[in-house]
């Protein structure tokens, strides 16, 4: 059984999503003039965070399913 690729993808998206979301909430809001007054950091950060967490959940489920099969 090789490395489950969903693990690094999940980790990367979770961290990136959390960073963007936090900056979008707490950072300066004037910077969103360029993005047509949409707080893209909050919106896209949340999307990435949720995607990342889903990937991590899938990794964990894949791992326990693999153990169940073996054991």
Partner 1 sequence: MSLTWLDWLLMLVYFASVLGVGVALKKRTTTSAAFFQAGRAIPAWVCGLAFISANLGAQEIIGMAASGAKYGISTSHFYWIGAIPAMVFLGVFMMPFYYGSRARSVPEYLRLRFDEKTRGFNAISFALMTLFSSGISMYAMAKLLQILHIFDAPFAALGLGPQYIFHVCVVSSAIIVLVYVLLGGLSSAIYNEVLQFFLIVAGFLPLVYLGLRDAGGWPGIVATVPTSLTHAWRGFGSAATSPMGVDGLGMAMGLGFVLSFGYWCTDFLVVQRAMAADSMTAARRTPLIAAFPKMLFPFLVILPGLIAMSVHGGVIPVKLHEGTNAMVLDALGRPQLDYDMAIPTLLLRYFPTGMLGLGLTALLASFMSGMAGNVTAFNTVWTYDIYQAYLRPKASDAHYLWIGRMATVFGIAASVLTAYVAAQFNNIMDVLQLVFAFVNAPLLATFLLGMFWKRATGHGAFTGLVAGTAAAALHHGLTLPAGAIAGVKGGWIAAVSAYPSEMAQNFWTAIDAFTVCLLVTAAVSLVTKPRPDGELAGLVYSLTERPRDAGLVWYKRPAVLGVIVLAATAMLNLVFF
65 contributes a contact to partner 1 by CB under 8 A: no
Helix or strand run (H / E) with residue 51: helix 40-70
Burial of 54 (0-12, 13-18, 19+ CB in 10 A): middle
CB of 71 to partner 1, least distance (A): 21
Q: Which is nearer to partner 1, 38 or 57 (CB)?
A: 38
Instruction: Tell me the closest approach of the beta carbon of residue 64 to partner 1, in angstroms.
Output: 18
Distance, CA of 18 to CA of 25 (rounded, Å): 11
CB-wise, 27 or 63, nearer to partner 1? 27
């Amino acid at each position: 059984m090789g490395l489950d690729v969903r693990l690094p993808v999940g980790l990367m998206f979770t961290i990136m999503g959390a960073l963007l979301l936090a900056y979008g909430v707490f950072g300066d809001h004037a910077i969103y003039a360029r993005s047509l007054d949409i707080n893209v950091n909050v919106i896209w950060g949340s999307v990435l965070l949720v995607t990342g967490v889903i990937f991590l959940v899938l990794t964990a489920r894949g791992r326990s399913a693999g153990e169940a099969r073996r054991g």
